[in-house]
Structure 1
Amino acid sequence: MLILAPMEGLLDFVLRDVLTRIGGVDRCVSEFIRVTNTLLPERTFLRIVPELTNGGRTFAGVPVRPQLLGSDPQCLADNAARVAGMGCDGVDLNFGCPAKQVNRHGGGSVLLQDPEVLYQIVRAVRAAVPAHQVVSAKMRLGFNDDSTAEECALALEAGGASEIVVHARTKADAYRPPAYWHRIADIKAKVKTPLVANGEIWNVQDAINARAESGCFDLMLGRGMVTNPGLGWAIQAHDASASGLPAPARVVRWQDLPPHLHTFWQIVSGHVSERHQAGRLKQWLNFLRKHYPEAEAAYMHVRTLTSPKDIHAWMDATRANPEHATQSA
């Protein structure tokens, strides 16, 4: 199982749509939906997870699991019941966000300091969500250190989580390498709930190493997939080869990406405010150039553009001549 990670401000429904069209992942988790003291209206869930109008799946048919973030067990349970009723395979709970603003308001990784609260939240949500739908959770190794990693995972399991994604860093580690995959193996020795390894998986060798050190076959891919949209297929090809099976013939080259950049821009143009549209394209190209040398010229050209009209013109030029995307201004 390869899962596309939630990443606030980056991996939203736009990039989920495009990356799942390219393929190679089996499921997605949405960026977090903040729950405070109220039962959110359906329009709030639809704004963050518009796939709920498509049976909880992306355009390409990949399931998307909405993720909730909050600290009040009953309020989270009420909102989980509502979003579960809108059509999805289950609900995910965020115990990993390291953002200071989120933690200051009692959400995300700060909850890892109190395993009892983790237990109460998962138990309440599990009771509120229909039995045929999954309740999963994402955690880090801890807040300031990883001394309670196993205790936190046991609390999630006791509450009824049927899958736990472990980002192999603490909140204090933020996104700095390395990821401590071996600590997931320590957790795995204590819990029976299926675990998914996450963190610093940028290429096939990282995936191999993460599996070996964590003891988990299932992986969650975040920035690695944004940087290399073919990463899921590459891992699947390795798995097939290791099993003596025919490898999927999917290699995502730079010259394959212009149509997907066009799709990305079309969705951004239709759903993102005009003043943020150019920034979204620049953001993705900035990631892509870390893997594709050819993306450097595209990024250097687009980074000077601020008008959607100018980017439309650039997109039209690349549609007529894909080589245009590799030519500098």
Structure 2
Amino acid sequence: MARSRTLRTLLFRLGSLALGLALLYLALRGVELREVWQDLQRADYRWLAPLVVLTLLSHILRAWRWRLLLDVLPDSPRRQRLTVGRAFQALMIGYMVNYAAPRLGELARAASLSRTSGLRLSSVLGTVVAERLLDLLVLALALLSVLALLLDRWIELHQLLVVPLLQGDWLQGIGLSVLLVLLLAGAVVYVGRRSRLLQRLARPLRSPLQAFKHGLFTIHRTHHPVALFSSTLLMWICYWGMAYLPLVMLHLETAYGLGWTEAWILLVLGAVGVALPAPGGLGSYHYITVLVMTRLFAVPQEAAATYAVLTHAAQMVLYTATGFVCLMLQGGHWHSPDDPDLEALPGSLRPPAASP
């Protein structure tokens, strides 16, 4: 059983890496890499420091927002003082892990904070899911704003992003998979109501599931809704600046008339690429960014590829370095061995402890 889980995990990671590399190939196919290198050499790197500050500030704001949710959790006997700094460290460790294993990043983030705060892992995971649902809602609203901005080019946008998806056979596969999952869930519920054995097996999961539920509904129970809204708004303003500054660095603002509106469109559609199951948005971000810049903004492919490579590489280096430093500050461990929720996880899902 353990070997089977390990094999599935390995296949998932290899599949996500293959997807990212395939999309990266499509994004850079036909690009003169020499011109990309020359564009990077001509970039105005005086804007790099403000970009780094803005990036770190966005994640400090995210850590602050996360702490607003964590503060609502029921007290744990081992609970320690929870600070924005601890939440920031766990957050950056999660981002670092996401570049190696997309599925494990959020779990490593929750496990790291659980260890340093004394909160139950299930509760912390609930807050992570709640925060991601909030991000999904904001992204949906942002996508609506992009559709409004591109209303006069909706047909072109539809042909660019929607038609290729509808023409793919994979959409039917997803629909069939969803149907099978629903049927399986219904069968489990039906059998579970009539099986005392399954009820006895599910009994040990009641406590972790209850703790997860506490974390999931922290948005509803938070005592600081204004602060929650403000932190989310400020985060997205930072993200907007993070999309705009590279345009200035690469002189794309003056050469092709790309301003704040185009930066917003790149931010929102690029976020969709990052959400795909590729390591840290590798390939998927590049593909969508190059596609949008060349088809919608009439930017040459080399200039578009330079923007995609610069923005993704800068974030990857910064997140990895910051996450590594945060891991060392925590003593090189992601979890404590006496955490019952963490020990109950399958070995393939359990974040490994790193040695100092």
TM-score, normalising length from structure 1?
0.24
Between Structure 1 and Structure 2, whose CA radius of gyration is higher? 2
**More helix per residue:** 2
**More strand per residue:** 1
More relative contact order, 1 or 2 (CA 8 Å, 6+ apart): 2
TM-score, normalising length from structure 2?
0.23
